[in-house]
Amino acid sequence: MSVTARINRIGDGLASGFSRHWLKILSIIVGLYVGMPFAAPVLMQVGAERPANAIYAFYRPFCHQFAYRSWFLFGDQPFYEAPQFEAVTGIQPYTSAGRLQARRFVGNEQMGYKVAYCERDVAIYLGVFLAGLLYGALRLRGRKVKPLHWIPYLLLGIAPIGLDGFSQLLSQPPLEWLPYRESTPYLRTLTGFLFGVANVWLAYPYVAEAMDDIQSDIQKKRRTAR
């Protein structure tokens, strides 16, 4: 067998394996991505600051990590909204320096320690993870899930998170184009969760169709080779 043929055979084997188990692979990846940020406050609580800070640093490019928009573990409260956060820490949330401090602030023994990404991101990726598990369970039962139509996708997935997020963004410094508004942990959670679920409902059926096509093409190629 030539080198090219061997490479093609290995490539077909990898493609076949991934196309059969793509949902399990994605669920594991998303599950790890969802779970790791919760490990950071746990590690802080037990005094393992170095690995905890490594997790915070890993997620920093993907999330603003503002402490006044994050869940906290092991403290007096599960969250600290902007006015209370400022009262407790002295950090001003809406100044440039304060935003940087709020991003770097991970917590303390009294307040607890923040999860390594914000409330909205927790909800988004948890929604993706749970919706993926539900989608897998339906597939195991032989249920074919149709992709979410674009109209309900916009109404349920995009509009709530867009209105909540942009109305907050446009009302605060440096823009201040709208009357001041700060969302709530529960509203961020609801809109983020809807967004995550809607994306799975829209995308996974198309991914499944594409993976089935790959399986079919590989099977045809193998029959031809015989």
In this predicted model, what pLDDT tens digit does every residue of 106-134 receive, in sequence order? 999 999 999 999 999 999 999 999 999 99
Which residue would you say has higher pLDDT here, 12 or 206? 206
Share of the chain above pLDDT 90, in %: 79
**Mean of the pLDDT values across residues 70-94?**
96
Pairing of strands 107-108, 72-73: unpaired
The number of CA neighbours under 13 Å toward the Cβ of 103 is 14
On whether the CB atoms of residues 106 and 74 are closer than 8 A, the answer is no
Taking residues 217-221, report their average pLDDT.
Answer: 81
Write the pLDDT tens digit of every residue in 151-191.
Answer: 999 999 999 999 999 999 999 988 889 999 999 999 999 99
* Band of pLDDT at residue 27, cut at 50, 70 and 90: very high
Q: Where are the domains of the chain?
A: 3-225
Q: What is the pLDDT of residues 84-110, one digit of tens each?
A: 999 999 999 989 999 999 999 999 999
Answer yes or no: pTM beyond 0.85. yes
State the burial class of residue 145 (Cβ atoms within 10 Å of its Cβ: 0-12, 13-18, 19+).
Answer: middle
The chain-wide mean pLDDT, for the chain, equals: 93
Residue range 64-68: mean pLDDT, rounded: 97
User: Which pLDDT band holds residue 218 (cuts at 50, 70, 90)?
Assistant: confident
Q: Are 217 and 148 in contact (CB under 8 A)?
A: no
